[in-house]
Amino acid sequence: MTVAPPVDLPYQIIWRSRALRQGAHRSTQSGAGGLFRDLATLLEHRDPRRIDLRQTLRDPFGMLHVRRFEERSQIGVTLLLDVSGSMGFHGAARKMALAADLAQVFAAAARRAGDTFALYAADDQVHDALSVPPTRSRTGEETMLAALRAYVPKRKGASGLVEAAGKIGRKRSLVVIVSDFLLSEVQLEALFAALSGHDVVPIRVADTRESATLPSWGLFELADLETGRRRLVVMRPALKAEWQRRIEARRAFFRSLAARHGREPFEITDRIAWDRLGAHLAAGA
């Protein structure tokens, strides 16, 4: 089995976790440890061990004031993986191999941070055999990674990603979508709408050979990576220009949609630039 580089992939959130379980992220919870948060009256925060004498003496009404400290909490990390037909493309690299590398590194990063990790793989339906429910354990991780690396995507669409999004629940999570995002505009909008309560990180996987430069003239056969259908096309400059316009329009729509829902997409072409990905995640937005 091919092993992903043993990289440390830190990720950052700009929101506060509401989880009660301690972890590595900023939290809405107050406690005895962590960073100083603010001052409150003893009536608001009943912890006389944290009385702040200086602020108490300054209060003209004689109210007792206590220091509140910010706890660190855990979050849930979920990877939504597109395993539709187009993700089976094998050119300069195997898209599914790149996806498996990402799954391996995100699972390890979540475990180090004390967060839960879940993975849901889908084409036009969710594949339970390739999925992992939320866990902090390594149990089953090697089996999951081996299955992902061996999986050959079938010729189906990726509408099941919306169903997979529904499995995450309402509690705000960090959701990483790994896909080539060759979905229709309607499907893209439905997917991001289903994840509107979460912190979404879209990672687009592409291959230079699938978008090789088209000739201006010629007769050649095209294959639809999603359906497997083939057809002969007589290429001419006007048709080439129209195809390129539609490709750019689709990409612009996707980037705009992702930005509206929080984070710019991260682009992977042929290989994963781990340093750039780490910087992208550490930015938190």
Mean pLDDT calculated for residue range 249-269: 89
Question: In the prediction, which pLDDT does 31 show?
Answer: 58
pLDDT tens digits, residue range 161-181?
Answer: 999 999 998 899 999 999 999
Q: Please tell me the CATH superfamily of domain 76-283, with its number.
A: von Willebrand factor, type A domain (3.40.50.410)
Residue 4 has pLDDT above 60, yes or no: no
Residue 9 pLDDT exceeds 50: yes
Summarize pLDDT for 118-161 with one digit per residue, the tens: 999 999 999 999 999 998 888 878 888 999 999 999 877 888 99
DSSP state of 90: B
How far CA 259 is from CA of 152, 253, 265, in Å, comes to: 31, 10, 8
Q: How far apart are CA 50 and CA 34, in angstroms?
A: 13
The tally of CA atoms less than 13 A away on the side-chain side of residue 236 is: 2
Q: Where are the domains of the chain?
A: 22-73, 76-283
Q: Using an 8 Å Cβ cutoff, are 49 and 36 in contact? A: no
Q: Average of pLDDT values for 216-227?
A: 67
Which residue did the predictor score with more confidence, 199 or 284?
199
Does the pLDDT value for residue 1 go beyond 60? no
pLDDT, tens digit (0-9, with 9 covering 90-100), for 185-215:
999 999 999 999 899 999 999 988 876 666 7
The confidence band for 2, taking pLDDT boundaries of 50, 70 and 90, is very low
- The answer to whether the beta carbons of residues 135 and 116 sit under 8 Å apart is yes
pLDDT bucket at 51, cuts 50 / 70 / 90:
confident
Q: Look at 261 and 285; give whichever has higher pLDDT.
A: 261
For the chain, what percent of residues have pLDDT higher than 70?
A: 82
114 Rama sector, left if φ>0, alpha if ψ -120 to 50, beta otherwise? left
What are the structure tokens assigned to 109, written together?
A: 């990063």
The pLDDT value given to residue 30 = 58
Beta bridge partners of 39: 67
Between 17-31, 33-47, 199-213, 219-233, the lowest mean confidence (pLDDT) is in 17-31
Judge if pTM exceeds 0.85. Answer: no
So what's the pLDDT on residue 248? 84
Could you read off the pLDDT of 59-97 as tens digits, one per residue? 888 888 877 776 767 789 999 999 998 898 888 889 999
* Greater model confidence, 146 or 28: 146
pLDDT number for residue 27: 59
Residue 265 has pLDDT above 90, yes or no: yes
pLDDT grade for 116, boundaries at 50, 70 and 90: very high
Q: Which two tokens stand for residue 128?
A: 């339970």
